[in-house]
Structure 1
């Protein structure tokens, strides 16, 4: 199973290298459209290889997706934390009630009563 995973990672790496080699031509990225840039008399742009633009888009998409899921699951995480706190509180209360029930008894009798 480990070798299959390594083979998949190697194939994925080879595919990424092939995409990078095939798309190494420079492209111009502009921050704002040229029509709007004329209004402000600024035209911020940068020249990058196309594969960096592609890989950057993939990374930004993954980050946006991770953040989106984290925000979406906030309610579920809050419910789970609330239930965990309630469970700890109830466990403490059960332990306290057991101690009160067996307060004046012999330890052996308390263990036998607890087991039944």
Structure 2
């Protein structure tokens, strides 16, 4: 299975290199449309190879997708965190009850409660 994964990655890398070398021509990338740029007085233009635009778009799409998924799963993470805290609290309570039972082993629980209430007076 590892061999298949490495073979796939090598083929993907070869395809990306072929696409990049086929699209070396420069293109002009502008930040804002012309009408908005003249209105705002802010215009940024860059000359970059076409493959940079394509790969940059894919990378930006991946980052936006990862961020969107992280936001979407935040409620699941908060529920899991709350359940972990509750499980830890229940485990502590169980350990305390087991320790109490070991201390009172051989004694009747009702008598132990009566003795506790009698000694508390």
Gaps of 5+ in 2: 107-121
2:47 aligns with: 47
Match of 1:20 in 2: 20
> Which of these two proteins has the greater Rg computed from alpha carbons?
2
Partner Cα separation in structure 2 for residue 38 and residue 29 of structure 1 = 16
Q: Partner of 2:64 in structure 1?
A: 64
User: Superposition RMSD on alpha carbons, in Å?
Assistant: 1.4
**Counterpart in the other structure of 2:118:** none
Q: Which residue of 2 aligns with 1:92?
A: 92
TM-score (norm 1): 0.86
Structure 1 stretches of 4+ moved >6 Å: none
Q: Cα distance, 1:3 vs. partner?
A: 1.1
What count of residue pairs does the alignment treat as equivalent? 106
**Cα offset, 1:64, TM superposition:** 0.4
The alignment's TM-score, normalised by the length of structure 2, stands at 0.82
1:9 aligns with 2:3: no
CA shift in 2, pair 1:97/1:46, >3 Å: same
Question: 2:33 — aligned with what?
Answer: 33
